[in-house]
Structure 1
Amino acid sequence: MKIKDLSVLSAVILIIVMLVIPMPGWLLSVLILINITLALIVILVAMNTTEALEFAVFPSLLLLLTLFRLGLNVSTTRSILSEGDAGVVIDTFGSFVIGDNPLVGFVIFLILIIIQFIVITKGSERVSEVSARFTLDAMPGKQMSIDADLNSGLISEQQAKDRREKIEQEADFYGAMDGASKFVKGDAIAGIVIVIINIIFGLIIGVAQMGLSFGEASNQFLRLTVGDGLVSQIPALLISTATGIVVTRVASEGNLGTDITKQLLRFPKLLYVAAFTIFMFGLTPINFGLTSVIAGFLVFGGYQLSKKQTEEDPVEWPEEEEMEKQDMSSPDNIIQMISNDPIEFEFGYALIPLADANQGGDLLDRVVMIRRQLALELGMVIPVVRIRDNIQLNPNEYSLKVKGNEVAKGEVYLDHYMAMMPGIEEEDLDGIDTTEPAFGLPAKWIAENLKDEAEMMGATVVDPPSVVSTHITEIIKQYAHELLGREETKQLIDHLKESNPILVEEVTPEPLSIGDVQKVLAKLLREQVSIRNLPVIFETLADFGKMTNDTDLLGEYARQALSSQISNQYINDEQMIKVITISGQVEKLIADHVQQTEHGSYLSLDPESQQKIIQSIHQEVEKLSLQEATPIILCSPAVRMYVKQLIERFLPQVVVLSYNELEPAIEVQSVGVVNV
């Protein structure tokens, strides 16, 4: 059993012992201080949670702390009534509050008990009860919402399961808090009863048994009773307040302190109004100097907050010359609010210098160059990259989104360099361990003074803007097929029509629609095949479009027509391509399980055979990766499409080519065979 578990069990046993066995004064003092410390920790934790479920153990902890406090009450009462002493802590608290006037001190103590019982405890109990009721009432609606999102495909099965579990946990938590708050109320009542018992029986014991005068007995036992009540009620007050904080906490991204300061001081100009009001109070008999000082602090605070808000306002840098001032009251602006940008690059506030030209940032210029480079490589117009800061991200973090969905994240340190170290021992170079975001290589963020040392060790050292630019480039390449929609396809067709009008007329709108052409082009881009040679692709579509409208099959014909381009894409310096071939047995197995339908063809292979083929390919790919070569599978044209469909989900980085996609003059070296 762990030490933590033993400590909790020991604490519970100690509480039971306290209820039966008398405790010496010094031990009671230690336990009282522990009780106050625990209560302080609980309220601090409650203030720093962002949602109630982060402190899910609170209901059980509340019961244990209440039992601990009642055990202390029993022990201190026993010591007060039997010995007339309960330790230095209780005596000090009582003497400090009562002072020279026992009656005034006792009245103050009663006020504290009234506040504890009527305001804090009753309020927490009511809030817990209402929260539990509303949480239970809302469960069916939340469950239906989850089912609707799942049926519409907005969330996965796992996400739905997680959300259902969270709803159940919330219901259990608020139900438990509703019951636990009753213990807090009972504890407050018990505290009042114990105080009355201590005073009445203390006077009786002091006069009848100890031979004290009534004045001496009332002074001694009143002091001890007030001290005992304070050391008991202060932790109870903290715990009751923590209960109220937890059950009234609305889920947010910050803790209570952050939310209060952020929302209370959200409108700095209102501090000027408050300052003026306080200043006007000074014109009355109220102290003018005091009101002036307070008003001055308010004005200074309002000025600083206004200045800070101006500096932290999110700034958006549209690429190139697309910054336009828009009237926020225009109805058209609502349409823009619900539309997603094709590509978005968001970053934390520490990366603002990366995009701010005034601070030497050249990210905007780099993005322009990326769009031009990819237009040449892919043959399509890359949409505008929307660049903006996002205070919700970590300071050094950035995020890439495609059509509103986050597809990649990364972290950059502007005062460091990234050193990629294949084959270099990590401990040989000091830095922050990381992974190169574009290709997943192990790397380190190193200080600028270690740059030369890292290069001498053979590491590739890259500056932060280049890391970000490379990541953006690779993500756009990876999701190019999603960025090419019908509108973008129409623009490409219109551009081709200027130079090849007859060719375009022969393809669209008959026999192929713009949507059919878009699917063919997207299929090529999905497998990193450039569509820049659009005339060749349209020649193929014109030849085969009249025979079939299966866009997958048309994509295969287009790949064969682009054989020279594809061959040059994967050929090495030795004018050779290393490939993994598919055995005849496997090709026959795949071909025999291709099902033809009116909507196209698909592979209908049993899961066991699929697993064997994928596992065999994976083994051969691992062998080829040792030679630092691009993993390429070569098979017959009849099964190429189905092989790619089979492994795309598990081995997306593997290239699948057919014999018809390679030029006859190219030397092909087989380095492995896929068998089952």
Structure 2
Amino acid sequence: MKIKVGDIILGLFIILAVVIMIIPMSTGMLDLLITLNIALALIILFNALFAQEALSMSTFPTILLFITIYRLALNFSSTRAILSSGEAGDVIATFGSFVGGGDIVVGIVMFIILVIVQFMVITKGAERVAEVSARFTLDAMPGKQMAIDADLNSGLIDEMQARERRQKIQDEASFYGSMDGASKFVKGDAIAGLLITVINIAGGLIIGVTRLNLPIEEAMTTYTILTIGDGLVSQIPALLISLSTGILVTKVSKEVDLSDQLSSQLFSLPKVLFLTGGVLVFLGLFTPLPTLIVSGTGVLVIVAAWKIQNTLQIQAVEHEISTEDIEAEEIRRPENVVSLLHVDPIELEFGYGIIPLADANQGGDLLDRVVMIRRQIAIELGAVVPIIRLRDNIQLNPNQYIVKVKGVKVAEGEILFDHYMAMNPGFVEEEMDGIETVEPAFNLPAIWITETQRERAETLGYTVVDPPSIIATHLTEVIKKHLDELTTRQDVQTLINNVKESHPTLVDELVPKLLSVGEVQKVLMNLLNEGITIRDLVTIFESLADNAVTSRDTDILTEYARQSLKRAISSSFLNENDSNSVITLDPSLEQMIMDSVKQTEQGTYLALDPEITAKVYESVEQEINKLISIGRSPILLTSPIVRIYFRRLTEEQFPDLIILSYNELDSQAEIQSVGMVSVS
């Protein structure tokens, strides 16, 4: 692993703090290190001041720890120099004599004030803000995560943006949690600086009197000035670091600089400045306050307010002109229609009366239900559902909604707000009063009932659902019905990549050596078109890899894949605990169908006589009605070689007919034939 220069410098900086504590430093070296400490504090302060958001200095807690250790090491070294030789360099001596003005009492008072300001005001405030920020950031994490999921589901952001936002939320939580702990370094540093100063004064007095035989007054003067200087060169950088901490944890805006934010918030309203200037002029003229200073300041504030007002008026006019120019230019640009070419895979549009159901602020949970639809279909069918875009449409009736697939309306429905839909499962004899309607997902007869009737309906045995559930169920069924055409090559590539993580050999053998992504897509689309789950992609890919060597016909490969999924198919369409009633095909009809199959370069097709086709439809309809009359799902069994062609023949006329081959049945399934499709 290559060692970077920055790593070496960082390591040397930490070692330097230890070396400073162990090895006595010359006064010149001590001056240099103290100056470096002040420079680092200023660099940190200005970085915190001009950072646009707190995460711009995400390493601040670590920086705080390093700079605190370095400053305490300097305190240790300077204390040793003061007590051992009575000298600690020009920087400390200058600070001690200059700030105190040659007066010990003044110097002590100034130092105490500085410590109080740092410890009681800035440090304590920054510590509290960091603590509260950490608490509220952690408490807000679940809500922010849900907001990201909602934006992702509604199409406002894509997967990459959602991942970036989630990472930012985690970074914020880690940062404010670290700042809550790191602020204790600042507090401890202030206390340590005060204690070191007291120890230095007492220790210097004892050494000066007992060892150097200095008069008490001279010893007090010498060591107090040096101690005050040492405390100042330590506490001033500490004060700057405390100020940096406070600035960083109190940042709110992430879009503008702090200077722009302060100026816009303090000086953006001229009337505030006019009032302030007027008050100052009044105080200067009618009170004993210095008239020239107070009233003069008031006049300057009024002049500034007048100039700001003129500037704002000019900016408003320029902004209006600029906006009109931009709009006109946008209209003239030929590229402005490009954004209109995008077609959303799935859209749910609704009238304004349904908006409360989709608005979380009004207690609506439709958005959460839509999020669960994608999870539910992924679990049931193993397919990736595109982002479902929700939008209101004022052109619809207030309680109407429509579902669009690739920009074309494929389903619609209408609900009654504050009502419930009650459906008779078939065994409830007592009728209820309500508004007759039809359940939109399965076209079942139903009635709209009020909230007061809900409990009674449930007691009688009615199936009662609320409006969000009606919309979500309808949307789910529409998506399932059109899931094959919503499955793109990119989605298939995502599924292939997912399988490749655990089965790289299988994928490398199949794609692209035997089949292209498009051919795999066709097989998966065929399966989804008939409601077959593709969640077990490993089994499907194994089947394709075994049979693609002899045939690349995607229809034939689909049949092989179905046979490998016979356990899943039987579980989906057949009852494991009861006998299953089905209908079959007349063997003579099967032979007739096979004789009508024509082979071409583009594939195979069925060329059946129209009269025969009409008889087939009539017979199929009669047999389906038999199954429906006894409460069974319409299932038809054929031989494997005929299944695909009979499916093509009947899929438009009987879309709900489930057509299975004998090779797709689990050995444990109990089958009972109750009819036969025939043309004789």
- TM-score, length-normalised on structure 2? 0.51
Distance 1:516 1:261, change over 3 A: closer
Between the aligned partners of 1:255 and 1:19, the Cα distance in structure 2 is 40
Task: Name the counterpart of 1:313.
Answer: 316
Task: Tell me the distance in 1 between the aligned counterparts of 2:170 and 2:405.
Answer: 49
1:98 to 97, 100, 103: 100
Q: In the alignment, is residue 287 of structure 1 matched against residue 290 of structure 2?
A: yes
The 8 Å contact of residues 134 and 173 in structure 2, kept in 1 or not, is answered as yes
5+ residue gaps, structure 2, are 350-401, 410-480, 483-514, 549-600, 605-680
Distance apart, 1:204 and its partner CA: 1.1
Measure how far apart 1:473 and its partner are.
5.9
Sort the Cα spacing of 1:84 and 1:472 in 2 relative to 1 into closer, same or farther, 3 A: same
Alignment of 1:299 with 2:302, yes or no, is: yes
Give the whole-Å Cα distance in 2 for the aligned partners of 1:47 and 1:232: 21
Report the AA paired with residue 300 of structure 2: F
1:181 matches 2:221? no
Equivalent of 2:267 in 253, 265, 272 = 265
Partner of 1:28: 30
Number of residues of Structure 1 aligned to a counterpart in Structure 2: 394
CA shift for structure 1 position 228: 0.6
How many angstroms does 1:280 deviate by?
1.6
Does the CA-based 8 Å contact 2:20-2:74 persist in structure 1? yes
Q: Pick closer, same or farther for the CA change 1:302–1:210 going to 2, 3 Å.
A: same
1:23 match: secondary structure: coil
The residue type equivalent to 1:286 in the other structure is L
| Cα-Cα RMSD | 4.5
Are 1:52 and 1:251, in contact at CA under 8 Å, matched by a contact in 2? Answer: no
Match of 1:68? 70
Per-residue CA deviations over 1:383-420 (Å, capped at 9, x if unaligned) read: xxxxxxxxxxxxxxxxxxxxxxxxxxxxxxxxxxxxxx
Q: Following the alignment from structure 1 to structure 2, what is the Cα–Cα distance between the partners of residues 130 and 516?
A: 46
Q: Could you report, residue by residue, the CA deviation over 1:225-280 in whole angstroms, capped at 9, with x for unpaired residues?
A: 11111100100001011111111211421122221111111212101111111112
Q: 1:275 aligns with which of 260, 265, 277?
A: 277
Amino acid at match of 2:179: M
Give 2:8's aligned residue.
Answer: 6
Amino acid at match of 2:294: T
Which of 53, 65, 89 is the aligned partner of 1:87? Answer: 89
Bigger radius of gyration among the two: 2
Instruction: Describe the superposition over 1:80-125 as per-residue Cα deviations: whole angstroms up to 9, x where unpaired.
Output: 0101010000011111012232112211111111111111111111
1:306 is matched by which residue type in structure 2?
Q
Partners of 2:124 and 2:187 within 8 A in 1: yes
Indicate if the aligned counterparts of 1:591 and 1:638 stay in contact, CA closer than 8 A: no
User: Can you list the C-alpha shifts for 1:170-208, whole angstroms capped at 9, x where unaligned?
Assistant: 111111111111111111110000100111111111111
Give the counterpart of 1:49 among 43, 48, 51.
Answer: 51
Q: 1:15 to 1:599 in 2, by over 3 A?
A: closer
Alignment TM-score, normalising by the size of structure 1: 0.51
Separation (CA, whole Å) in 2 of partners of 1:73 and 1:517: 72
Residue aligning to 1:471: 335
User: 1:592 and 1:11, CA in 2 relative to 1: closer, same or farther beyond 3 A?
Assistant: closer
Matches within 5 A, 1:310-459: 310-313=313-316, 356=325, 364=328, 370=332
Superposed displacement of residue 142, structure 1: 2.5
What per-residue deviation string (whole Å, max 9, x for no partner) do you get for residues 550-608 of structure 1?
99xxxxxxxxxxxxxxxxxxxxxxxxxxxxxxxxx99x97998696899999xx99999
Asked whether 1:204 is paired with 2:206, we answer yes
Q: For the residues of structure 2 that align with 1:195 and 1:36, how far apart are their CA atoms?
A: 19
Which whole-Å deviations, capped at 9, do the CAs of 1:486-516 have from their partners, x for residues lacking one? 9xxxxxxxxxxxxxxxxxxxxxxxxxxx999
SS at match of 2:288: coil
Q: Hey, what does 1:124 align to over in structure 2?
A: 126
Question: What is the CA–CA distance in structure 2 between the aligned matches of 1:144 and 1:220, rounded to whole Å?
Answer: 65
Q: What is the SS of the residue equivalent to 2:184?
A: helix
Distance 1:472 1:64, change over 3 A: same
* Percent of residue pairs identical: 45
Inter-CA distance 205–355: structure 2 relative to 1 (3 Å threshold): same
Q: 1 CA distance for matches of 2:37 and 2:290?
A: 42
Instruction: Provide the rounded CA distance (Å) in 2 between the counterparts of 1:77 and 1:264.
Output: 45
Tell me the secondary structure at the aligned position of residue 169 of structure 1: helix
Mapping for residues 590-609 of structure 1, pairs under 5 Å: none
Displacement after TM superposition at 1:141 (Å): 2.6
Q: What letter corresponds to residue 471 of structure 1 in structure 2?
A: E
Indicate yes or no: 2:146 matched with 1:144. Answer: yes
How far does residue 10 in structure 1 lie from its aligned partner after superposition? 0.9
**d(CA) in 1 for partners of 2:73, 2:270:** 49
Residue from 230, 255, 266 that aligns with 1:253: 255
> Bigger CA drift: 590-599 or 288-297?
590-599
User: 8 Å contact 2:343–2:406 — kept in the other structure?
Assistant: no
- SS of match in other structure, 1:177: helix
> Residue 253 of structure 1: SS of its match in structure 2?
coil
Over 3 Å counting, the alpha-carbon distance change for 1:515 and 1:158 in structure 2 is closer
Shift of 1:297: 1.8
- 1:248 alignment partner AA: T
Gaps of 5+ in 1: 318-351, 371-468, 487-513, 522-549, 552-584, 613-635, 640-676
Distance 2:126 2:21 in 1: 28
SS in 2 for 1:50: coil
Amino acid aligned to 1:135: T
